[in-house]
Amino acid sequence: MTRYPFVTRWVAAAVVASTLLAGACSSSADRDDSTATGDGTNAAADTTEPPIGSGQLDATGADSGRSPGFVTLIDAGAEPRVDLHIATDARSRITVDASDALAITIEGVTTDEGADAIYELALDLTVSGTDAVLLAVPTIESIDGPTPAADELGTWRWLLDTHGVVQRVIPVGWSHRIDDATFELLSAADLVLVTPAEPVGPGATWSQSLNRQGGAELVFTLNTVTDTDLDVTVELVAPFDDGAATMMTSGTYDRATLLVRDVTTESSLDITSPVTDNGALVDLSGVQSSRRTYLEEVG
């Protein structure tokens, strides 16, 4: 890749955009390099911005369009219908098996990059009124390359509403020595299920907008509901002029907390586009793929 250093930056920017689009999945993640306290409470919520899904207003007071995170009920499903929301505090531990890969082809030459990790997340969920905070503390079990020390990993702090819509995800206390590949591997985006405000039953479908201009959205299907579990399928709908983006999530979430129990997510972005190198037009294609499996630890 030394001949075309601009290629990595170009594809990386596209991958980041697609990752946010595909929900890796519905949140913004901003690094906070301050020293983390035990519970991550030194990361204050950004109150200068309206929460995602609130319907932002422009200077004239008019609605500027569906904000990222806006949830729309498509079909309420069969009776009996129930209100799905974060109803209680909870603590749990999950194991995440994560892999990311990127293949770039330019002038017929393909370069592959990839990274894998298995790690545990200790989750601490607290709910207050219509808001919730989820703290996720990672512990590495195995990873490509050097294993970061525990005090370098910090804490992920998720700011949510009680229907699982993410307002911000803030990594707190991260060391500058944590490289971007490791940072992305630990970006577990499917920890909490997004649900509509209306009661729903088996077969219900709803969507979550991911950006205003592109029309990208996640479409959720509630397959079954039990007293304890929700079986859900989530698919990305995202139009791209220069390629294709896909994402499929399936598995079970806890009904009382909306936290992940046994879920697999697979996503890919395939882009083909001409790019300019020192004034010459060359063809570039890039394929980025990610896989995450989440499994709640029992006992």
Q: Where are the domains of the chain?
A: 5-39+68-296
**Tokens 């306290």 sit at which residue?**
37
Pairing of strands 71-75, 205-209: antiparallel
- What is the distance between the alpha carbons of residues 238 and 252, in angstroms, rounded to a whole number? 24
**Per-residue pLDDT tens over the stretch 49-80:** 333 333 222 222 222 344 568 899 999 999 99
Residue type, 41: T
What is the reported pLDDT for 80?
Answer: 94
Average pLDDT, the chain: 79
pLDDT tens per residue, range 267-290: 998 888 787 767 778 888 889 999
Structure tokens that stand for 21 in this block: 């689009």
Phi then psi for 183, rounded to 5 degrees?
A: -55, -45
**Residue ranges with strand state E in 129-259:** 131-143, 155-161, 166-172, 205-209, 217-225, 229-237, 243-254
| 15 pLDDT higher than 60 | no
Among 21-35, 84-98, 211-225, the range scoring the smallest mean pLDDT is 21-35
For residue 183, the surrounding DSSP H or E stretch is: helix 180-185
Say what the pTM is: 0.80
Assigned token pair, 196? 């509509």
Q: What is the sign, positive or negative, of the torsion defined by CA atoms of 65, 69, 70, 75?
A: positive
**Burial of 23 by CB count in 10 Å (0-12 exposed, 13-18 middle, 19+ buried)?**
buried
DSSP bridge partners of 94: 121, 296
Give the distance between the most distant pair of CA atoms in the chain: 63
Burial 67-105 (b: 16+ CB within 10 A, else e): bbbbbebeebbeeeeeebbbeeebebebebbbbbebbbb
DSSP annotation of 55: -
Backbone angles phi, psi at 21, to 5 degrees: -65, -45
pLDDT over 90 (residue 205): yes
